[in-house]
Amino acid sequence: MLLGIIGAPNKGKSTLFSALTMIDVAIANYPFTTIKPNRGIAYVSKKCVDSELGVKCNPKNSICLNGTRLIPIEIVDVAGLVPNAHLGKGMGNQFLNDLISADAFIQVVDLSGKTDQNGNPCENCNPADEVKMVKDELSFWLRDIIKKHSSKIEKRADGANALAEILSGFKISVEDIEKAAEKSYLSLSNINWSDEDMLSFSKNLLEISKPMAVAANKIDIAKEGSIEKLKKELPGTLIVGCSAAAELTLRKASKTKIIDYIPGSNEFKIIGNPSKEQMEALDYLSTFIKKNNGTGVQELIDSVVFKLLNMIVAYPVEDENKYTDHYGNILPDAFLVKNGTKAIELAEKIHTSIAKNMLYAIDAKKKIKVPKDYIIKDNDVLKFVSAAR
């Protein structure tokens, strides 16, 4: 899974990326800090199933901290987008190709309103305007890609398949294309669309295939009621208030053993010997996360994966009684799958040979057989039974 961090310059994208991945990147209070895309691994968090089963897990493809399973996903952070980036303004849209395989976007906005759409200082700028601007630039970007190949698709009666071939690296399905065309009132046979048609189609296709959440950053310095105002202006949008700077500080303090902190928690324990300055900062952060029930950063990433993308977690095992793999590791793997995924589809994710020879699965909790087309439920523990080869 890949999530793309996008937004106008100087909104805290690189700080959020660094907080999520703990990778040192260039962070500065001026536009276009990011020149090359940053890639790293972040973790979504979910209560581990081990306590429900009365066992202690031994994870292999993920991490478990005090009963919280941390499952890795990939994050990419690209340079900021400014108005008319598609015309070459700012850094242009030269880095957007690094986002084509993203499953969803996280747009970082400055909830405090102290930076404008170009990343320069201002007072009382509206973060909702940033969201519209970035969506427009993404739509222009996709439209221009389609337009470049218009001569290839206008001769095809099967326009949906023709577009799917052009957009093959975008994680965009024929079904997504058909839905976007229907929403745009456009025919997919022998496509001969105007620029306006292509833009409308591109906007709808992005909304369908690349859902976007908004990270309302800098909530610690924003005016009271700012998050409520933004949610009112952007109805239907997943918006999570957060402080990337606070989360980064806490994770760094945890990494250096000054505090014991689990991402997403609203408290931490001091275990080291902080300096006077560090203690003052920690006192402030302690008050802040208690008041806001955390920094919002972990809530953001969890909400994108489990709410926006509608993912669930499944645990494949080889021994349905001990919940172990071949080597005796208890609940070794946690897989993120789309809600509605069938058992056979999870088997394919694990290994093609398992799926090819699969007979059925065993629900390890209930100790019953389930068919190949069984719809996986959240926190299912499954053993896959295959025919001998």
Q: Is a pLDDT exceeding 60 seen at residue 87? A: yes
User: Is the torsion defined by CA of 344, 347, 351, 356 positive or negative?
Assistant: negative
H helix intervals, 225-379 = 226-233, 244-255, 276-292, 297-303, 343-350, 352-356
pLDDT in tens, 161-194: 999 999 988 889 999 999 999 999 999 988 889 9
Question: How many Å is the Cα radius of gyration of the chain?
Answer: 23
Place of tokens 């859902």: 211
* Least confident span in 2-11, 14-23, 54-63, 141-150: 14-23
Contact criterion met (CB below 8 Å) for 257 and 268: no
pLDDT in tens, 41-85: 999 999 999 999 999 999 999 999 889 999 999 999 887 787 776
Q: Is residue 333 part of a domain?
A: yes
Q: Is residue 199 part of a domain?
A: no
Q: Report the distance separating Cα 147 and Cα 36, nearest Å.
A: 26
| Lookup: tokens for 324 | 């172990």
Average pLDDT, rounded, for the chain: 90
Residue 274 has a pLDDT of 93
Q: Is residue 166 part of a domain?
A: no
Contact criterion met (CB below 8 Å) for 13 and 26: no
What is the count of structural domains for the chain?
A: 1
Q: Is residue 98 part of a domain?
A: no
Contacts of 105 (CB under 8 A, 6+ apart): 3, 4, 5, 6, 99, 138, 210, 211, 212, 213
Residue 89 has a pLDDT of 55
Q: Is residue 272 part of a domain?
A: no
Percent of the chain exceeding pLDDT 70 equals: 93
Q: Is residue 374 part of a domain?
A: yes
Q: Is residue 279 part of a domain?
A: no
Q: Is residue 76 part of a domain?
A: no
- The CATH number of whichever domain residue 355 belongs to comes to 3.10.20.30
Domain that holds residue 346: 311-386
Residue 97 has a pLDDT of 75
